[in-house]
Copies of this chain bind each other. A is one copy, B any other.
Amino acid sequence: MASQKSSSATLPPAPQTVQAPTAKEPKRKRGIARVAKLLDAGATVFAEQGYKAATMTEIAARAGAPIGSLYQFFPNKDVLADALVARYAEHVEAALDRIRAQVAEIDGIQLADRLLDVLVAHAAERSLALSLLDARWEQPGVRPGILRESLRRRIAEILCLWRPALADDQAQAMSVVLFQAMKSLVQLHEEKRYPGKAEAIAHWRGWVQRYLTEI
C-alpha cells in the first residue's frame, strides 16, 4: 500500500515508536526467496488447519526452512498472519485500481462483471484472510473492518468516476450493495456443487448487471 523501495511489498516497514513487532524485510536474494516460501507455506498451513491449530514448526518445515529462519522474518505467529492478510489486501486493491484506470471505457455490464470477478479471482486468498482475521480478536495489524472499509471506499470511488452525475451518498449506498453482492457471488461459487448452481450464479450476475445498467 504505502510505497516502498522495491520489495515484495508484502512486508511493511516498522517505524513505530513502541516497536510493535513487524515482519523483517529480507536483504539478500536468498532471503527474498525464503520469505516467499515461508509466506506460501504459511498460507497453505493456515488454510488447512486454521490459525490456532497451525504450528509454526510445521509452517517452517513445509517451507523447507529451519524454525529460526521463520522467526527471523516473522517474529511471531501474528505477524505472519498479518503479512498474509496484507498480501491479500494488496492483491484486491490492485485489481480494483486496475478497474478504476479503465472506468471510462466500460459500460454497466462490463463494470458489473469486472467487479464481480475481483473477489472470485481471489476467493481462496480471501477466505484465508478472513479466517485469519477473525481468529485473532484484539490483535494489532489490519483489522477486518479497516480492510472492508478500504475496499468499499474504492468501489465507491469507481462508481463516482464511472458516473460523475451520481450523488455521493447514492454512491455510498450502492457501493455497500455491490460489495455485498461481490462477496455473495464468491460464496455461491464456493459452495461445493448443487443442483442449480450454474443458474444461481447466472441469476446473480444478471441481477448485478441490471443494478448497474439501470443507473
Contact = CB atoms under 8 A, between A and B. Distances in A.
A207 B207 contact: yes
B137 A49 contact: yes
B50 A53 contact: no
Contacts of A184: 180-181, 183-184
A192 B149 CA distance: 10
Taken together, the copies of this chain in the complex come to: 4
A48 to B, nearest CB: 7
The SS class assigned to the A binding surface is: helix
Interface stretch (A31-39, A71-79, A118-126, A168-176): A168-176
Given A145-B192, A196-B169, A134 B50 contact: yes
Given A131-B134, A137-B48, A175 B187 contact: no
25 contacts: A50-B51, A50-B52, A50-B134, A51-B52, A131-B134, A145-B192, A149-B194, A169-B196, A172-B194, A172-B196, A173-B195, A173-B199, A173-B203, A174-B196, A175-B196, A176-B194, A176-B196, A176-B197, A177-B203, A180-B187, A180-B188, A180-B200, A180-B204, A183-B184, A184-B184
Interface of A: 48-53, 131, 134-135, 137, 145, 148-149, 152, 169, 172-177, 180-181, 183-184, 187-188, 191-192, 194-197, 199-200, 203-204, 207
Given A173-B200, A180-B184, 18 more contacts: A48-B137, A50-B134, A50-B135, A52-B53, A52-B135, A145-B191, A169-B195, A172-B194, A172-B196, A175-B196, A176-B196, A176-B197, A176-B199, A177-B200, A180-B187, A180-B200, A180-B204, A183-B184
